[in-house]
Amino acid sequence: MAKWVIATVLALAVTPAAAQSSCGVFDFAGPYADAYFKAAPYPEGAKAAEMIRTIPDGACHQDRLLPLLSETLGPVIGYKAAATSPGAQKQLGLDGPVLGVLFQDQMRRSGATVKIAEGARMIFELDLLVRVKSDAINQAKTPEEALAALDAVIPFIELGDLMTPKGVEVKGPLLLAMNAGSRAGVMGEPVPIDGMTADDLLAIKGRLSRGGTLLAEADASNLLGHPLEAVLWIVKAANARGMPLKAGDLLSLGSMGRFQMAAPGLIEAVYDGLGEGPVGVSLTLQ
């Protein structure tokens, strides 16, 4: 049985009928995928916000969306935690993050040029990736065990997509159904973790700028209090959904600061504590 089918069956098996009702009567995944690949706002955003009301319901819709995205975006290469800050969780009506899936063709290298029109309502934010060294990470229960199962930390600018028309209030269940707003991301050079401590990761500070103007600065404590706590959350959430991690997977640990609406210019992120140059992307209108 395919992994996506298994995940959907598991979601349905543990979800009360009342909570899963919209997944059976509301066709979210197909129309959303059509809008996603047209880079157009999902037209039924207001209805989806009304219909998709619980986290299990959002997970069921996400399970149906993922294979449709994979057909064009390629294989799964990792996972992301969205809404890692208390402020974002309060705004979304959540008591924790939500899980997103990353696909191969979403990833770009530092120095790339990205058209803003590749997204419906593109945003960007200061983020961090870590890379999984071995599937032992699936048994990690402590920050130290998580650290031992990683081999690199990677500077990262996430390019998300709000995807709903302006004025539609997105809450946590709909964000989850939308694959946590994942659109693309720009990766810097991997920095080996070998020799780093948990304190070293916590000490990372980032600055985000556009055209040389500082937009945001934040530190790694915004990632669920510690980057390794974000790793452990992704491990637990992915495994609970029938998606165990494997060597080489990339984990996006969440936004270190407020997201910014995409506008033309050179976007750069610099990280103190990683010993690497900035990661950058040129956003253009055409």
For 243-252, write each residue's pLDDT tens digit: 999 999 999 9
- What's the pLDDT at 92? 84
Asked if the model's pLDDT at residue 15 lies above 60, the reply is no
Query: What's the average model confidence in pLDDT over 138-167?
Result: 96
Where are the chain's structural domains?
Answer: 3-284
Q: What is the pLDDT of residues 184-225, one digit of tens each?
A: 999 999 999 999 999 999 999 999 999 999 999 999 999 999
- What's the pLDDT at 89? 84
CB distance 96 to 195 below 8 Å? no
Asked if the model's pLDDT at residue 232 lies above 80, the reply is yes
Q: What is the pLDDT of residues 82-127, one digit of tens each?
A: 988 787 888 788 888 999 999 999 999 999 999 999 999 999 999 9
3-state DSSP assignment of residue 131: strand
- What's the pLDDT at 13? 36
189 is written with which tokens? 């050079």
Q: What is the pLDDT of residues 267-279, one digit of tens each?
A: 999 999 887 678 9
Query: What's the average model confidence in pLDDT over 3-18?
Result: 40
DSSP string, 160-207: EE--SPTTPPP-HHHHHHTGGGEEEEEE---EE-TT--HHHHHT-EEE
pTM for this structure? Answer: 0.90
- What's the pLDDT at 87? 75
CATH topology of domain 3-284: Fumarylacetoacetate hydrolase; domain 2 (3.90.850)
Asked if the model's pLDDT at residue 51 lies above 80, the reply is yes
Q: Where does the pLDDT of residue 21 fall: very low under 50, low under 70, confident under 90, or very high at 90 and above?
A: low
The torsion angle over the Cα atoms of residues 205, 218, 261 and 238, rounded to 10 degrees, is 80
Close Cβ partners of 23 (under 8 Å, ≥ 6 residues apart): 12, 57, 60, 61, 64
Asked if the model's pLDDT at residue 2 lies above 60, the reply is no
Query: What's the average model confidence in pLDDT over 164-174?
Result: 92
Query: What's the average model confidence in pLDDT over 165-176?
Result: 93
Asked if the model's pLDDT at residue 236 lies above 50, the reply is yes
Residues of the chain above pLDDT 90, percent: 81
3-state DSSP assignment of residue 266: strand
Asked if the model's pLDDT at residue 4 lies above 50, the reply is no
Query: What's the average model confidence in pLDDT over 250-275?
Result: 92
- Pick from 21-25, 142-146, 151-155, 186-190: least confident: 21-25
* Mean per-residue pLDDT of the chain: 91
Please calculate the CA angle 62-145-154 and round it to the nearest 5 degrees: 60
